[in-house]
Amino acid sequence: MAQGHMERLTGLDVSFLTNEKDGSYMHVGGCLIFEGPAPEYTDFADHIERRLASIPRYRQRLAFPPMNMGRPFWTDDPHFNIRYHVRHTALPEPGSEEQLRNLTARLFSQKLDRTKPLWEMYLVLGLEDNRFALINKTHHALIDGVSGVDIATVLLDLNPIPNEPTEIEPWEPSPEPSSAELAALGARDLAEAPIHLTTRGIRALTDPSSAIDKATEVVEGIAEVAWSFTNPTPDVPLNVQIGSHRRFTWCRCDLDDMKRIKNALGGTVNDVVLACSAGALRRWLHGRGIRTEGLELSAQVPVSIRAEDEHGELGNRIAAMRGPLPVYIEDPVRRLAVVRKEMDGLKESKQALGAEAIARFNDFAPPTVLAQAARINFSTRLFNLIITNVPGPQIPIYLMGREMQDIFPVAFLPERQALAIAIMSYNGQLNFGLLADYDSMEDVEQIAEGIEISLLELLDAAKKAERGKSPKEPV
């Protein structure tokens, strides 16, 4: 019998709980489309339950020390029921992709119950063209995007014929901690924080020159983050009061097109993603009657700081960088060049190191300090929106023998951020998922269309460059 164990949330994990407000829910996930007839619901639920031994966190819920004494813990849920977390529904005729997007938006408009493990999965029947879908929804306190790819490999298969165990492994939850035990652990947490910091100081004394260099870099990094905070982002209609209801749309792109652009025009695939997003936002702002001369937006671009030996572990191991969105530039080639130059500068800067240092400090900070730091993580003074790009597997993957055709990631909306763009590559595709506030972003489809238009503009320029012709010079 596999038994779980208590594990304390990291400071960054707690920040996702602290930032969750009415209208701003901190769950992430995706909408996955598969070919063929859907499996039976009971078979699907059993399939998921068989694999939970590999991801015990999915059977754990939050436990809070009394009187806010330290960070919460993950503890086994004694009432865990797979049928609560794994659900099924069906689209009405005709079962269009628009109906599937609307269903995804409605599901992501609903807050997860914090008294239970923080995840849900929906088996969606009735999708046109002999397909079905899987919508998964997990609180960001539980998992980050890069770790999420690892977890998906536990639930999905690389082969059409899965090697399933014949029986579901029995599971018995660990005893629930009492309030007194949680209080004692919380008090120990607060008492040990200075010891952790002192231990780091002792380690530094054993290699003072390296420690001084590292400390200097960290201070410089924190200073860069502070400088960003004193230079706020422009005020645009993306940063308004949002409600709890959502819109969701997507667009499909070809990963080879992205690679062709970056090979011909320079930069990385992520630079191309940011340039296409900037082009789409420029068109959208113009559609709203907003002038963009001299206007540059800032995207929160999460960067994984997960070590190679940490893949497959849950919890958040990310830091945020302030990515450029030069919406003031009309020419798509020049826009990409500016994004590339600024992103290169960020990679050479200490910004990510500073963000990581702040995240690691949060692991030792008392809850009151954590609550204040959490608000900074998603401040609209730093970021207009989230744009997160996660690499996925480049080979077909399967669910109970059915091949996955598409995956559209779903991010989350912090307070006063009406749009989040999530991107994931899979098997030669690069798909964008756009989550938006329902009331203030009724025109979110225009941004999805703008991404496709921006990509075609860059692809055309790349083809001209390949033929030895200079792309049109920027005006």
The CATH code that applies to domain 208-391+434-466 is 3.30.559.30
Contact at 8 Å (CB) between 129 and 96? no
Cα 113 to Cα 4: distance, rounded to the nearest angstrom: 20
Cα separation, 185 vs 180, in Å, equals 9
List the chain pLDDT tens, one digit each, 475 residues.
444 468 888 877 888 888 898 889 999 999 999 999 999 999 999 999 988 888 888 999 999 888 777 788 899 999 999 999 999 999 999 999 999 999 999 999 999 999 999 999 999 999 999 999 999 999 988 875 445 545 666 788 988 987 766 678 788 888 888 777 776 666 666 555 554 444 544 554 555 555 555 455 545 544 455 445 556 788 999 999 999 999 999 999 999 999 999 999 999 999 999 999 999 999 999 999 999 999 999 999 876 554 444 444 544 445 678 899 999 999 999 999 999 999 888 766 655 554 554 444 444 445 444 444 445 556 667 899 999 998 888 999 999 999 999 999 999 999 999 999 999 999 999 999 999 999 999 999 999 999 999 999 999 999 999 998 655 544 3
Q: Give the model's pLDDT for residue 447.
A: 98
How high is the pLDDT of residue 185?
67
Q: Which residues contact 460 (CB under 8 A, 6 or more apart)?
A: none
Q: What is the pLDDT of residue 218?
A: 46
Q: What is residue 151's predicted lDDT score, i.e. its pLDDT?
A: 63
Helix axes 444-466, 269-287, angle to 10 degrees: 130
Please, what is the end-to-end C-alpha distance for the chain in angstroms?
Answer: 68
Instruction: Indicate the pairing of strand 246-254 with strand 119-127.
Output: unpaired
Question: Kindly report the CA angle at 225 between 222 and 231, in degrees rounded to 5?
Answer: 145
Which pTM does this prediction carry? 0.83
Domain ranges of the chain: 208-391+434-466
Task: Provide the β-strand partners of residue 119.
Answer: 138
Residues in the chain: 475
- Which letter does DSSP use for residue 363 in this model? T
Which single residue is written with the structure tokens 């899965």? 162
